[in-house]
Amino acid sequence: MKKKPFSAKIILRKEVFEIRAGMDLRSALQKLEIPSQSVLATCNGVLITDDEIIKPNDVIQLIAVISGG
């Protein structure tokens, strides 16, 4: 798949989502229907908050935080 210009990636476990850069993480998670309370996000190994504006070529790794059974 050809990479779209100005896009970024969000990775959760084995899933990779391509999203448009320029929006904040909160909106991106909402768009992907990922509850923001259920994940932490890191970019380049640094924990980021959900008001962070996603830049082109960012690779955002999500860490699922909900456990138990």
Partner 1 sequence: MKCGKCKDKAVINMRQHNIGLCKMHFLAWIPEQTQRFIDKYSMFSTSDKILVAVSGGKDSLALWDILSLLGYKADGLYIGLGIDGDVNYAIESLYYCQRFAKEHNLNLITVDIEEEHGISIPQIAKKIQRGKDKPCSICGITKRHTMNRIAREQNYDVLATGHNLDDEAATLFGNTLHWQAQYLRRQNPVLAASESGLARKVKPLFRFYEREMAAYALLRGISYIYEECPFSAGAKSLFHKQLLNQLEYEQPGAKLQFYLTFLNAKETGIFTPSKQKPAELNICKSCGQPTSAPELCSFCRIFDSMQK
Tell whether the torsion through CA atoms of 40, 46, 49 and 52 is positive or negative: negative
Using the minimum distance from each CB to partner 1, give the nearer residue, 21 or 48: 48
For partner 1, give the closer residue by CB, 7 or 61. 61
One residue of 49, 57, 58, 62 binding partner 1 per CB under 8 A: 49
Residue 38, classed as helix, strand or coil, is helix
Nearer Cβ to partner 1 (3/13): 13
**Opening angle at CA 41, ends 30 and 6, nearest 5:** 70
Shortest spacing between CB 44 and partner 1, in angstroms: 13
